[in-house]
Each structure stands twice: as structure tokens, then as C-alpha cells.
Structure 1
Amino acid sequence: MQERKQGRRSAEAAEQTKCDILHAAADMFAEQGFERVSLRNISDKAGVSHSLIRHHFGSKEQIWQAISDGMDDFMQRYIAAILEYLPESYTSAQRVYHFLSYMSAFTLVHPRPIQFIADAVRQDDDALLRYFLRSKDEFSAAFSSLFDEYNRDNPEKPVDMWEMKWQMLQTVHAATSLRPMMAETWPECEGDHDKLLLKHWSLYNRIIAIQLDISADEMIKVDSLDSLLFDVPCHV
């Protein structure tokens, strides 16, 4: 019995160590980019030995892939949570509008996925980008029915799912890559990043509301983007 308990504690400790390594590496990859981060950097930040990292993951690429896998799993569960929340009483336009509003709020507050995509695009070798995008068809299948339903209901004003996704990616990436410019645009919020993100999201929110003929009364109005986030456990 004692041996089983010790074995269980050892396994739990190993999983916690792996989790600590992934958290440290994810922060560094997002902030500095894949090329500028070394296994030694990760071991220093995680507070573990270089050899232990190699024992658990083998290489920097495998750590990056493990983080990408974790993001993939989380985002699929997050999308599912949004879709489950959307009331059946909503029109198809309202459902698409709310889905995009919730997704954009999450990616603005938690920009790590868009930072990973942007960094993968910058690599000379497209292996990271291909790995990150390997499940794009599975992702699109999860919410494509929203856009199909909207287009059936609004044949006179159809929307393209991929164009709207691209529009959202541009919006989110701008908040990360051009962050200082937000304070130039909304100087009254300078020094308060949360308020700047809310202003940035509100601009996007108005644009998609116009595209989908969402009235001013139907538009989402919040004082904080945190109120638009869903409680989905994150494993990385």
C-alpha cells in the first residue's frame, strides 16, 4: 500500500514538473519567439535541470508541440462552451454575432494563441505553422453550421466564414503587435490596458454588428471583457 502511495505521489510530481515546464516555455515562446528561446532558458525559468527537460520532452520543438496540442484542446473546448451557451431563441445573425464577440474577447484577453501563430509565420521553416494549423478543418467544422444557418436565412446578404475569421484575427493581432498605438487612439485610457482592450473590442464589435444587421439595442455592452469570458479549465 505504501509503495502504491509513493508511486502515485511520484507520478503526480512528474506531471506537475511537466506542467511547470510547459507554463514557463509557453510564456517565453509567446513573449520572445521560438528562435530566441533555448532549453537552458526554459530550465532556468521553470526551475528545473536541463537534463530533466530533455527527459520529459526531448527537444525544444517537442515542448512547443506539446503546448500547441494543449492550446488546440483548450480552444476546441472553449468553442464548444460558447456554442452550448448560445440560446436557441437567438436569430442566426445574433448567434454568429455573439460567437464572434465572445471569441474576440477571449483572444484579446488571452493573446497567446495569436502570438504563437504570428511567431510560427515568421519562421523560415513552415513546420511550426503547419503543426499549429493541422486541425483547422476540425475547428471550422465546429462552428461552420452557424454561418451556414445565417446564409440560409439571409441569402440577400451572405457572409464568408473565412473572411470573418480573418477579420477577427487581424483585429486581435493588431492589439498585440501594435499595442502602443492603442494609447494613441484612445489617450483617455492610456496606462489602463484593460480599458484599451475594451475600446479595441468595442470597435470590432460595432463593425460586425453592422455587417450582420444587429441593432444597437441588440449589441453587447459591457464594462469589462472579463464578463464575456467562459469558465473552461486550461490544462497548460
Structure 2
Amino acid sequence: MSNKTIRVGRQTAEDAHKTKIKILNGAFELFSTKGFDSTSMRQIGTYVGVSHSTIQHHFGSKLDIWLAIVDRHNAAYITDLNQALEQTTNRDLDSLSLFKSAVLILIKTLFDHPKMLRIICMEYDATNERAQYLTKTLMPTHEHISKLFTAARKESKRLEIYNEETFLIALLGLIASPILLTILSNLLSDTELDSSDFRTKYQCLIMNMLFEES
């Protein structure tokens, strides 16, 4: 009797965890395509096939769902980025080469986390709690990239047209263009935006636009 009770309790906990993950995954899809304000709790429930009350049971509010998503996926994004950046900084490179390597890593990491990039872009210009939360979360990485930019700018006339903020805006804009405008994959029928071939060629285009000396 006792063993049966324990086994059922474990199953209930596992089911609850699976339901929470299902809600987070569905909400992540909706937030990254429709935006936070255009997504309702009921839409999330309909999308993942659970009731509104079930969502409220696991998450107190829509903002709580958004925060849980950002914490979960941003942690993976930042971990991937910082591990790669750390390996780069251990190499014996001049400041400009080091910065270029860091930019290449940033491009690859953001391409590997397209939904996270969409959420960042949707909130980047908004002066709200969500934007402030993202800023706080991303600030350490931003400061690291900014230091590399400041050192590299002294070695490149091309970089003199930017400051650290305008360079980051230009970089994010170039990376985000194909990810945000998914309609391009329909217009360019021969191009798969998530293919390694496209990423390699587009990565070269970004680097040439940002670093090519005139």
C-alpha cells in the first residue's frame, strides 16, 4: 500500500513537470512570433491543449511564464556564448582579431537561438519590466563585448564610424533580419535560412559589411 502511494505521487509530480514544460514551450513559440502583448493566457492554453485554470495553477501570470522562459533559454544562450568567448580570449590575438572572433561567436550563438533573439528584439526598445529584466540579464555579456570593441576600434579605421552602441545595433539588426523576417524563406525558395550553407555565407556578408575597409 505504501509503495503504491509513493509511486503514484512520483507520477503526479512528473506529470506536473511535463505540463509546465509543455506550457513553456508553447508560450515560447507564441511570444517569439506574436510578441508578449499580442499573446493571451487563453491563446497559450489553446495552443498547448490545456485549460486556462491549469496554466494559472502552474504560473500565476503571463509575465511569470515569460520570465520562466527567459531564465530557461537565456541561460543556455549565455552559457554557450560565454564558453566560446572564454576560449577565444585565451588565444594570442591582436585586439582587432580578438574582436572579430568574438563577433563571429555572437553571430553563431544567436543563429543557434533564433527564438531568443526574436524575444530580445521585440523588447529591446520597450521601457518596461521585461526590457529591464533582459538588460540586467544580458549586461555582463554586453560589457565584455564593449571592452573588446573599444580596444579593436583603435586598430581599425572602419570601426571609427561606430561607437559601442551603434555597432551592437548594426550587428543585431543584420543577424536578426533573416530570423525575424521568416517570410524570406518563402520568397527565396532555394534558400533554407537554417542551413549551414546559408549561415556561412550570411556570416561572411555580415563580417564584410561591418569590418571591410573602404
TM-score by length of 1: 0.70
Equivalent in the alignment of 2:84: 82
For residue 192 of structure 2, what is the aligned residue in structure 1? 192
Contact 1:92 1:146 in 2 (8 A): yes
Percent same amino acid at aligned positions?
Answer: 23
Contact persistence 1:21–1:53 (CA under 8 A): yes
**What is the deviation of 1:173?**
2.4
Aligned counterpart, 1:101: 104
Map of 2:26 onto structure 1: 24
Q: Is residue 111–residue 172 contact of structure 1 (8 Å, CA) maintained in 2?
A: no
Letter in 2 for 1:99: A
Partner of 1:71: 73
Q: Give, in angstroms, the shift of residue 118 of structure 1.
A: 3.2
- Deviations 1:9-36 (CA, angstroms, capped at 9, x unpaired): 4333322221111111000111122233
Q: 1:5 to 1:203 in 2, by over 3 A?
A: same
Task: Give the corresponding residue for 2:174.
Answer: 171
Going from structure 1 to structure 2, the CA distance change for 1:31 and 1:179 (only over 3 Å counts) comes to closer
**TM-aligned CA deviation for residue 183 of structure 1:** 8.1
Which stretch of the first structure deviates more once superposed, 98-107 or 66-75? 66-75
Equivalent residues of 1:182, 1:200 under 8 A apart? no
More helix by share: 2
Structure 1 gap ranges (5+): 212-236
Q: Secondary structure at the match of 1:90?
A: coil
Q: Measure the CA separation in 1 of the matches of 2:200 and 2:141.
A: 26
SS in 2 for 1:170: helix
The answer to whether the 8 A contact 1:183-1:196 is kept is no
1:62 to partner: Cα distance: 1.4
- Is contact 2:125-2:131 (8 Å) kept? no
CA distance, structure 2, for counterparts of residue 182 and residue 38 of structure 1: 28
Quote how far apart the aligned CAs of 1:82 are: 1.0
Q: Given that residues 175 and 200 in structure 1 are in contact (C-alpha distance below 8 angstroms), is that contact kept between their aligned partners in structure 2?
A: no
1:167–1:121 CA distance, 2 compared to 1 (3 A) = closer
Tell me the CA shift for residue 83 of structure 1: 1.6
Give the corresponding residue for 1:215: none
1:12 corresponds to: 14
Q: Is the 8 A contact 1:80 1:142 kept in 2?
A: no
Farther-moved stretch of structure 1 (96-105 vs 83-92): 83-92
Greater relative CO (CA pairs within 8 A, separation 6+): 1
Match of 2:207 among 190, 205, 208: 205
Deviation per CA, 1:90-149: give whole Å up to 9, x if none: 3332221111112112323432123113333577x7333223223343232344443455
Within the candidate set 91, 94, 103, 1:91 is matched to: 94
Distance in 1 (CA, whole Å) between partners of 2:143 and 2:6 is 43
Closer, same or farther in 2 for the Cα pair 1:25/1:178, shift >3 Å?
A: closer
Deviates more, 1:50-59 or 1:31-40: 31-40
Residue 226 (structure 1) aligns with: none
